[in-house]
Amino acid sequence: MFDNSPLEKELIEQGAVSITVPVLSAFVKLRLAKLEADQQRGIPFNEALGNDTLGLDIMARGVLQDWLATLFNQYDQIAANCCRWPKRPPSNPESRRPSANRCPPNAGRR
């Protein structure tokens, strides 16, 4: 949709990164839709994989696990770009004033 668009070019110039969301097979989507219809509620991927009582087909489970691993691997690769935190100067514990909640350093000692 945005491939080679002016917006994409501008974002890349600003240091943006991209991921490619893998295609989840229709086979797995149909199995998940059946589970949701049987349960009459939405079922998140982690529950479909982790809850054996739901009875997700073993083949669908393997494909879904691989799909999630591929997706999260891409998230891991771009994590540094997504989670940039400004650097703070190191704190100086001696410059802190005692708070009303804390006892002074020598309180209770004789």
Residue in the block written with tokens 């540094």: 80
Dihedral angle over CA of 82, 19, 62, 53, nearest 10: 50
Q: What is d(CA 49, CA 41) in angstroms, rounded to the nearest whole number?
A: 16
CB contact at 8 A, 35 and 43: yes
* pLDDT digits 0-9 by tens, 41-66: 999 999 999 999 999 999 999 999 99
pLDDT of residue 39: 95
The reported pLDDT for the residue numbered 96 is 55
- CA–CA separation, 43 and 31 (whole Å): 11
pTM: 0.65
